[in-house]
């Protein structure tokens, strides 16, 4: 068996070390630099996402870690993002208004956080491809074409989302508001970025796409007006009928049952309608939103009682119209 001399073994070992060193030098870019850059980009993306999400949370929710124990605190602790936006709701219930602002802010915040995450993910993927030596220009061009195709194919969906965002920013309506959306009138049950649900007077729950809403009539913002129309006989003293109606209305709004819902004094507008059988007086009073119905019913009852006490003649005083059929009064 031949014996390899020691010098030959030493030369062979040195040659292996040299090959390993040359191989490491040649591939150092792939073994060290590329992984480090990829990990660095990933860490930067994660840190940026965490920081931006925290900023969005603070801007949209105003988290302080302390509960709002009073209505004044609920009114002042509004999210910074919405601090300078107009609130269209009545300010009588500060806690309810604060809750509504929080709902708006949370929805907007979720949209912003999703947008930030998507943008950072796209940036990370493109950065990794660039580090790997891939030409990203075709990817950017393809992404533009794909985005254009998706925009055309899902334009209704995009329109729904954009409309929902503007509705939230402008505070056009919120949960609990009575609204008229054109085809649907009722109480808002939920407000989303794509769908708004409304329950009408019959109890039907309607799902309305935000992009299909062309106009919004909100009957729950700022104030409402209760209109009361009172029919009187043509032979009645008009001035006295107006005076009695105003006095009855002024006495009615003092009642604690409706006093909190009335925002102004009753106003007699005069004769609303004149027909061969009667004339109609119209009165109005400003009320809190969604309370005009109760105020109207109470005013009608009190005015009717006052007319009866003061002898103001109403149309058809017998309560029914008698028709003569064949010379006999029909019951």
For 243-263, what is each residue's pLDDT tens digit? Answer: 999 999 988 888 888 888 888
Mean pLDDT of 110-121: 86
Look at residue 78 and tell me whether its pLDDT is greater than 60. no
DSSP string, 103-145: HHHHHHHHHHHHHHHHHHHHHHHHHHHHHTT---HHHHHHHHH
Any idea what the CATH number is for the domain that residue 301 is in?
A: 3.30.70.100
Percent of the chain with pLDDT over 70: 73
pLDDT at 83: 58
Region 264-275 average pLDDT: 87
Please tell me the total count of domains within the chain.
3
- Write down the pLDDT at residue 111: 80
- 111 with 42, same domain: the answer is yes
Could you tell me what percent of the chain has a pLDDT over 90? 11
Domain for residue 11, yes or no?
no
Is 80 exceeded by the pLDDT of residue 149? no
**At residue 176, does pLDDT exceed 50?**
yes
pLDDT per position as a tens digit, 12-71: 565 555 655 555 555 666 677 778 888 898 999 999 999 999 988 887 776 544 444 544
Given this model, what pLDDT does residue 71 score?
47
Q: What is the pLDDT of residues 293-326, one digit of tens each?
A: 889 899 999 999 998 888 888 886 554 444 444 4
Residue 213 has what pLDDT? 87
The pLDDT assigned to 95 comes to: 63
Let me know whether 247 and 293 are in one domain: yes
Higher pLDDT, 58 or 11: 58
Cα(112)–Cα(99) distance, integer angstroms: 20
Average pLDDT, the chain: 77
Q: What number of other Cβ atoms are within 10 A of residue 222's Cβ? A: 13
Query: Helices 238-252 & 292-310, crossing angle to 10 degrees?
Result: 130
Domain that holds residue 192: 178-218
Do 189 and 293 sit in the same domain of this protein?
Answer: no
329 is a domain residue? no
pLDDT at position 96 is 62
User: Partners of 285 in the beta sheet?
Assistant: 226
Is the Cα torsion angle 108, 111, 117, 118 positive or negative in sign? negative
For 30-39, 44-53, 180-189, 274-283, which range has the lowest pLDDT when averaged over its residues?
30-39
Q: Do residues 126 and 70 share a domain?
A: yes
Structure tokens at 228: 């009361």
Q: What is the mean pLDDT of residues 101-111?
A: 75
pTM confidence score: 0.58
Domain check: are 236 and 281 in the same one?
yes
Decide: 290 and 178 in contact? Cβ < 8 Å.
Answer: yes
């Amino acid at each position: 068996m031949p014996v390899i001399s020691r010098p030959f073994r030493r030369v062979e070992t040195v040659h292996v070390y040299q090959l390993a060193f040359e191989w490491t030098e040649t591939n150092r870019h792939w073994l060290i630099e590329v992984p480090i850059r990829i990990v660095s980009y990933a860490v930067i993306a994660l840190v940026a996402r965490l920081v931006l999400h925290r900023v969005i949370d603070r801007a949209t929710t105003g988290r302080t870690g302390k509960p709002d124990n009073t209505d004044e605190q609920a009114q002042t602790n509004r999210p910074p993002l919405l601090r300078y936006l107009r609130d269209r709701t009545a300010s009588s219930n500060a806690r309810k208004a604060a809750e509504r602002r929080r709902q708006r802010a949370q929805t907007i915040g979720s949209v912003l956080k999703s947008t930030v995450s998507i943008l950072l993910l796209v940036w990370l993927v493109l950065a990794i491809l660039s580090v790997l030596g891939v030409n990203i220009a075709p990817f950017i061009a393809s992404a533009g074409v794909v985005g254009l195709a998706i925009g055309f194919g899902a334009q209704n969906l995009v329109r729904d989302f954009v409309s929902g965002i503007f509705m939230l920013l402008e505070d056009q309506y919120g949960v609990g508001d009575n609204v008229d959306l054109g085809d649907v009138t009722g109480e808002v049950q939920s407000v989303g970025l794509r769908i708004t649900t409304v329950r009408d007077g019959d109890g039907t729950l309607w799902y309305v796409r935000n992009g299909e809403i062309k106009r919004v009539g909100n009957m729950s913002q700022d104030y409402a007006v209760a209109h009361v129309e009172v029919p009187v006989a043509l032979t009645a003293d008009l001035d006295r009928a107006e005076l009695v109606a105003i006095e009855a209305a002024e006495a009615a709004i003092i009642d604690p049952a409706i006093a909190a819902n009335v925002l102004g004094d009753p106003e007699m507008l005069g004769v609303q309608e004149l027909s061969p059988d009667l004339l109609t007086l119209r009165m109005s009073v400003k009320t809190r939103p969604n309370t005009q119905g109760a105020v109207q019913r109470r005013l009608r009852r009190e005015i009717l009682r006052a007319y009866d006490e003061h002898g103001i003649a109403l149309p058809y005083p017998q309560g029914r119209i008698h028709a003569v059929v064949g010379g006999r009064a029909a019951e």
